[in-house]
Amino acid sequence: MGIQKILNADAQYGVPVKIFTRDIDQESIEQLKKMAQLQFVYSHIAVMPDVHVGKGATVGSVIPTKQAIIPAAVGVDIGCGMNAIRLNLKADQLPDNLAPIRHAIERKVPVGFEIHKQVKAKASTIIPLEKSLQPIIKKHSGLIRMLRKFDATWQKQLGTLGGGNHFIELCLDENQDVWVMLHSGSRGLGNVIGTYFIELAKKEAQHRFGHVPDKDLSYFAQGSNSFDDYVEAVEWAQTYAFENRREMMRLILEAIRPLLPPFQMTKEAINCHHNYISQENHFGETLFITRKGAIRAGQDEFGIIPGSMGARSYIVRGKANPESFCSCSHGAGRKMSRNKAKLLFNQDDLIQQTQGIECRKDLGVIDEIPSAYKDIDEVMANQSDLIEVVHTLKQILCIKG
């Protein structure tokens, strides 16, 4: 059974905070107490078992709001999420040496700060995105000044990975079937949109719902021009993130086809956000649900919960638990900062913890070492009320930005 810890509501803390783990640090608790004071938060805040402190809002939190949205709760990697597909290949059909496959993917999909030299996405993808972006930048021309070579950049970044904890993996499931899995978001323009509206919310400092305990929790009230503009912009970024993952998957499959036996994709394909806003009905109310580091786990909905680059990942099916607002964790969750990981671990530690995985093993990715993350098995055990496991994956190749 999942564990549920509740910070009780009172005059100081506001709505209850329901936490599906006992493994939570004091800094996250203090952050959640501030979030719970917001008068437009409905019912309670749900906190997933991969919880850790974030900027503005706690990572792993599900925040239901009425008539207001907090841009910093979504963050700057709007629409960040996962994509996974199963191939009709078995483990014994893969080559013993996976390095050529890794290098082929890296040549096809830019990682880190790199972008495509030319636009790779099809016109059928670019044109609708461009058309829906025009009204946004017409009203908020400052966005253009925040991204170098604005149009060329967002178009050339479609089908690129980015850095940090974004990744591309080849995995094997419990049946020795081969999966391709990736994690990325809305790239540079999504970051610009998030940053721009977070600062705008702070500048406007709306007080329709009273005191805000932290400037990072500044919000837009429904009915204001900024609210409508942010909803339009965040929906665009979420669509872009979805298309970015889809384009990246296309390029990955294109890269690996010449190096593998002929294959096809199975019907099992998942593309889901874990930093986003959606309008949903819960407890008889239409609410804005902000999932910051959480995925939707509605009844029989499929999702992806990745571990670290040396641990298992999971394909899951949702149980529509109302107390979590039909949500579950988005991964293992960090247990230490990137800077602390760089101080505590060295290259030998990384090599030891990624044995048997074709991946970078240099100091440039030491902050992504498995020991910097929580135990994914414990995280999964704590959310047995939220999801059931459909497939267990183990990566054999991992590309980090």
> Is the pLDDT at 2 greater than 80, yes or no?
no
Architecture of domain 5-335+373-400: Alpha-Beta Complex (3.90)
275 is in an annotated binding site: yes
Closest CA to 192 of 137, 112, 248: 137
Within a 10 A sphere around the Cβ of 97, how many other Cβ atoms? 9
284 is in an annotated binding site: no
92 is in an annotated binding site: no
How sure is the predictor about 105, in pLDDT bands with cuts at 50, 70 and 90?
very high
Provide the pLDDT for residue 40. Answer: 96
Closest CA to 128 of 221, 4, 240, 289: 240
Provide the pLDDT for residue 320. Answer: 98
pLDDT, tens digit, for every residue of 112-152?
Answer: 999 999 999 999 999 999 999 999 999 999 999 999 999 99
Closest CA to 397 of 109, 4, 11: 109
How sure is the predictor about 3, in pLDDT bands with cuts at 50, 70 and 90?
low
> Is the pLDDT at 10 greater than 60, yes or no?
no
Closest CA to 345 of 326, 365, 327, 375: 365
Which helix (DSSP H) or strand (DSSP E) does residue 246 occupy?
A: helix 225-256
> Is the pLDDT at 6 greater than 60, yes or no?
yes
Cβ-proximal residues to 242 (8 Å cutoff; 6+ apart), any chain: 79, 81, 271, 273
How sure is the predictor about 13, in pLDDT bands with cuts at 50, 70 and 90?
low
44 is in an annotated binding site: no
Residue 44 annotated to the active site: no
Task: State phi, psi for 115 to the nearest 5 degrees.
Answer: -135, 170
How confident is the model over 267-295, as a mean pLDDT? Answer: 95
pLDDT, tens digit, for every residue of 216-256?
Answer: 999 999 999 999 999 999 999 999 999 999 999 999 999 99
Give the residue ranges of DSSP H helices in 51-182: 71-74, 99-108, 123-139, 142-145, 150-156
Our CA angle for 127, 130, 132, nearest 5°, is: 110
Altogether, the residues listed in the chain come to a count of 401
How confident is the model over 19-48, as a mean pLDDT? Answer: 95
332 is in an annotated binding site: yes
> Is the pLDDT at 273 greater than 70, yes or no?
yes
Provide the pLDDT for residue 254. Answer: 97
167 is in an annotated binding site: yes
274 is in an annotated binding site: yes
307 is in an annotated binding site: yes
- pTM of the shown model: 0.95
Provide the pLDDT for residue 192. Answer: 98
How confident is the model over 260-278, as a mean pLDDT? Answer: 93
* 28 and 53 Cβ atoms separated by less than 8 Å: yes
> Is the pLDDT at 1 greater than 50, yes or no?
no
> Is the pLDDT at 12 greater than 90, yes or no?
no
pLDDT, tens digit, for every residue of 319-335?
Answer: 999 999 999 999 999 99
| % of the chain beyond a pLDDT of 90 | 91
228 is in an annotated binding site: no
HEC string for 54-75:
CCCCCEEEEEEECCEECHHHHC
333 is in an annotated binding site: yes
**First-to-last C-alpha distance (Å) of the chain:** 36
168 is in an annotated binding site: yes
Catalytic residue among 52, 273, 330, 391: 330
313 is in an annotated binding site: yes
> Is the pLDDT at 11 greater than 80, yes or no?
no
> Is the pLDDT at 84 greater than 50, yes or no?
yes
How confident is the model over 105-109, as a mean pLDDT? Answer: 98
50 is in an annotated binding site: no
How confident is the model over 188-200, as a mean pLDDT? Answer: 97
Instruction: List Cα–Cα distances, 182 to 85, 89, 273, 399, in angstroms.
Output: 9, 18, 12, 9
Query: Burial level of 350, CB count in 10 A (0-12/13-18/19+)?
Result: buried
Which helix (DSSP H) or strand (DSSP E) does residue 36 occupy?
A: helix 26-36
Q: What is the mean pLDDT of the chain?
A: 95
Provide the pLDDT for residue 5. Answer: 79
pLDDT, tens digit, for every residue of 70-79?
Answer: 999 999 999 9
Provide the pLDDT for residue 14. Answer: 87
* 110 and 161 Cβ atoms separated by less than 8 Å: yes
400 is in an annotated binding site: yes
Q: How far apart are CA 215 and CA 267, in angstroms?
A: 45
Instruction: List Cα–Cα distances, 166 to 11, 85, 112, 382, in angstroms.
Output: 40, 17, 9, 24
How confident is the model over 375-397, as a mean pLDDT? Answer: 96
Domain ranges for the chain: 5-335+373-400
Provide the pLDDT for residue 205. Answer: 84
> Is the pLDDT at 268 greater than 80, yes or no?
no
| % of the chain beyond a pLDDT of 70 | 98
Closest CA to 219 of 385, 11, 375, 66: 66
